[in-house]
């Protein structure tokens, strides 16, 4: 297609939302009218099912749950007055709590005000708050946030060391919908231990955000924690940014959560329109389907040309891959669905992997995210009539063009600026696009059965570790790995036992390994 035809295609397919100052350009996806026609029945179904979901249908049948993240930003849509009340009350409670923390009315026992937050959570209980903090937190927030989103002792130390002198004024948010996920539980215990080491009383500085009646909820209530906020049963982890999970940390950092909710509500309204060309989420889902042939054959590379949106691709990774990455469709057929997502930011990534994108294996499509406003205030000129922002903008256009010329398709999302309203809108846009795509490919986008397998296997390893340690202590003599496995009743688990022992040995955990480490079968193990 020549430049004139492309310009026409751009205009034919441009979606623009005036209220949000939001543009979606899918003109550089090479679908034709016949493809669009063929997708119409799928979209009819998607619009209908999405309306049912918003109306309170059990859209996650495996877990017998409603899917209600859309109600969080428009409580009038909630299917019952009780749910509506719950949403409104939680929001008011978050605002009242935040105001009191900021004013010092709610304060830690040994300091005049809270200065910092440690937010402990993983997956959907971390990625949204992390993305939003990076995108929107002011340079000097009322409370500075630090995330523990893993069970890595060195990572936890790094945060605790930085906060050593400020633990007395640090508020701890423990975020877990289930209240039983091991990583946040471990993080919480590590932080509690650090508080105890400084003779600080943990409960008056701790807040739980969790499902009603969960283990964490019970603990917070029985120990008299500072407060608890609910995570509703009908909100999934990866769509929880606009629930207390995302709103509490955002509000505490001074981010305008009402604006985030308003932006999401506006985008929800736009993506509720049952017409493909007038619905930006449907246009995204159409493009994803086209790119990967409805089978995820191409990866989604997300490249925001704005530093503050760095974590958007990481956030989308969970939203898209945990939602769409499914072995079976809704009829039980094996389909192995999904779309792989990666990316960081432009133009930075142009000097990392864009070489391969341009010239290498064509197994992806791109999503450029362009932000029109360069900065608040004026820019100095780097060269006559050229600013750094002009360069960034030029790099985006240039890369889009160079990739297209080499048959690499792309979507471009353009927004006026990165502010709470727009971040809310972007989250809402992708939540809906994922929902539509899930319906198009007939999978349940709201469960995550695959994650359970890894969790169960990890629990088995930890049980095996306990068994092995017990045998070693009882034996009191050096054993080969095979002997130890036999005595532990796990003859088929020699490799797992070897890895457990190697880790314990490296950490001086009462286990000595001797022999040739290049030939693990020769190793002898004893208790120290």
Q: Which residues bind ligand F6P (CB under 6 A)?
A: 122-125, 176-178, 181, 184, 237-238, 322, 448, 451
First to last CA, the chain: 73
Of the pair 160, 174, the CB lying nearest ligand F6P is at 174
Angstrom distance (rounded) from CA 125 to CA 210:
10
Q: Which of 322, 326, 370, 447 is catalytic?
A: 322
CB of 325 to ligand F6P, least distance (A): 11
Length of the chain: 528
The radius of gyration of the chain's CA atoms, rounded to the nearest angstrom, is: 26
In 3-state terms, what secondary structure has residue 302?
Answer: strand
Question: Of 315, 258, 264, whose CA–CA distance to 98 is shortest?
Answer: 258
Q: Residue 238 or residue 265: which is nearer to ligand F6P going by CB?
A: 238
Answer yes or no: 322 catalytic.
Answer: yes
The residue among 127 and 160 lying less far from ligand F6P, judged by its C-beta, is 127
Q: Which residue has the tokens 């999302």?
A: 413
CB atoms under 10 Å from CB of 510, counted, come to 13
Residue 28 or residue 238: which is nearer to ligand F6P going by CB?
238
Set 100, 162, 455, 503: catalytic member: 455
DSSP assignment string, 474-488: HH-S-EEHHHHHHHT
Nearest distance from C-beta of residue 498 to ligand F6P, angstroms:
28
What are the strands of the beta sheet with 410-415, ordered from one edge? 15-17, 22-25, 410-415, 364-371, 299-304, 341-342
CB of 119 to ligand F6P, least distance (A): 12
Tokens 């294996």 identify what position? 361
CA distances from 419 to 141, 327, 445 (A): 15, 37, 28
Close Cβ partners of 12 (under 8 Å, ≥ 6 residues apart): 27
Between residues 187 and 292, which has the closer beta carbon with respect to ligand F6P?
187
Measured from the CB of residue 67, what is the shortest distance to ligand F6P in angstroms?
13
Interatomic CA distance for residues 57 and 73, integer angstroms: 18
Q: Which residue is nearest to ligand F6P (CB)?
A: 237
Name the residue nearer to ligand F6P (CB basis): 75 or 123: 123
- Say whether 34 is catalytic: no
Shortest distance, CB of residue 232 to ligand F6P, whole angstroms? 12
Q: Does the annotation mark 345 as catalytic?
A: no
Q: Which residue is catalytic, options 18, 34, 82, 351? A: 351
CB of 419 to ligand F6P, least distance (A): 26
Active site members: 322, 351, 455
């Amino acid at each position: 297609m020549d430049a004139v035809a492309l310009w026409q295609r751009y205009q034919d397919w441009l979606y623009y939302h005036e209220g949000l100052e939001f543009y979606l350009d899918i003109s550089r996806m090479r679908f034709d009218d016949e493809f669009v026609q063929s997708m119409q029945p799928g979209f009819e179904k998607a619009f209908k099912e999405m309306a049912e979901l918003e109306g309170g249908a059990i859209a996650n049948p495996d877990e017998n749950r409603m899917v209600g993240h859309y109600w969080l930003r428009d409580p009038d849509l909630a299917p019952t007055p009780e749910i509506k009340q719950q949403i409104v009350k939680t929001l008011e409670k978050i605002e009242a709590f935040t105001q009191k923390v900021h004013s010092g009315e709610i304060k830690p026992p040994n300091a005049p005000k809270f200065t910092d937050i440690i937010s402990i959570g993983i997956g959907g209980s971390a990625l949204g708050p992390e993305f939003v903090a990076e995108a929107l937190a002011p340079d000097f927030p009322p409370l500075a946030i630090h995330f523990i989103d893993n069970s890595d002792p060195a990572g936890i130390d790094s945060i605790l060391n930085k906060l050593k002198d400020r633990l007395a004024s640090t508020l701890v948010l423990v975020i877990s919908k289930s209240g039983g996920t091991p990583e946040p539980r471990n993080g919480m215990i590590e932080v509690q231990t650090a508080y105890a080491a400084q003779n600080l009383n943990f409960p008056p500085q701790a807040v739980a955000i969790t499902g009603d009646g969960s283990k964490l909820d019970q603990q917070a209530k029985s120990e008299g924690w500072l407060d608890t906020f609910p995570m509703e049963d009908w909100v999934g982890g990866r769509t929880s940014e606009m629930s207390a999970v995302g709103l509490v940390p955002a509000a505490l950092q001074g981010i305008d959560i009402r604006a985030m909710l308003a932006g999401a509500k506006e985008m929800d309204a736009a993506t509720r329109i049952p017409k493909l060309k007038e619905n930006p989420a449907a246009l995204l889902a159409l493009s994803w389907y086209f790119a990967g042939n409805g089978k995820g054959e191409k990866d989604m590379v997300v490249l925001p040309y704005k530093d503050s949106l760095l974590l958007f691709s990481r956030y989308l990774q969970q939203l898209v891959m945990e939602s769409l990455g499914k072995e079976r469709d809704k009829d039980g057929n094996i389909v192995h669905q999904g779309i792989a997502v990666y990316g960081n930011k432009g133009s930075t990534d142009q000097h990392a992997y864009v070489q391969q994108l341009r010239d290498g294996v064509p197994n992806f499509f791109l999503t450029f995210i362009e932000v029109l406003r360069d900065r608040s205030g004026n820019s100095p000129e780097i060269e006559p009539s050229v600013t750094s922002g002009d360069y960034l903008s030029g790099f985006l256009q240039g890369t889009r063009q160079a990739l297209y010329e080499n048959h690499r398709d792309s979507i471009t999302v353009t927004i006026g600026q990165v502010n709470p309203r727009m971040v809310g809108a972007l989250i809402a846009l992708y939540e809906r696009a994922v929902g539509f795509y899930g319906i198009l490919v007939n999978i349940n986008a709201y469960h995550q059965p695959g994650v359970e397998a890894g969790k169960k296997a990890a629990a088995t390893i930890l049980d095996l570790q306990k068994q092995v340690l017990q045998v070693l202590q009882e034996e009191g003599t050096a054993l080969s790995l095979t002997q130890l496995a036999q005595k532990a009743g796990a003859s088929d688990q020699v490799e797992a036992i070897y890895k457990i022992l190697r880790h314990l040995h490296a950490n001086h955990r009462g286990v000595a390994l001797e022999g040739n480490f290049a030939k693990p079968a020769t190793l002898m193990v004893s208790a120290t």
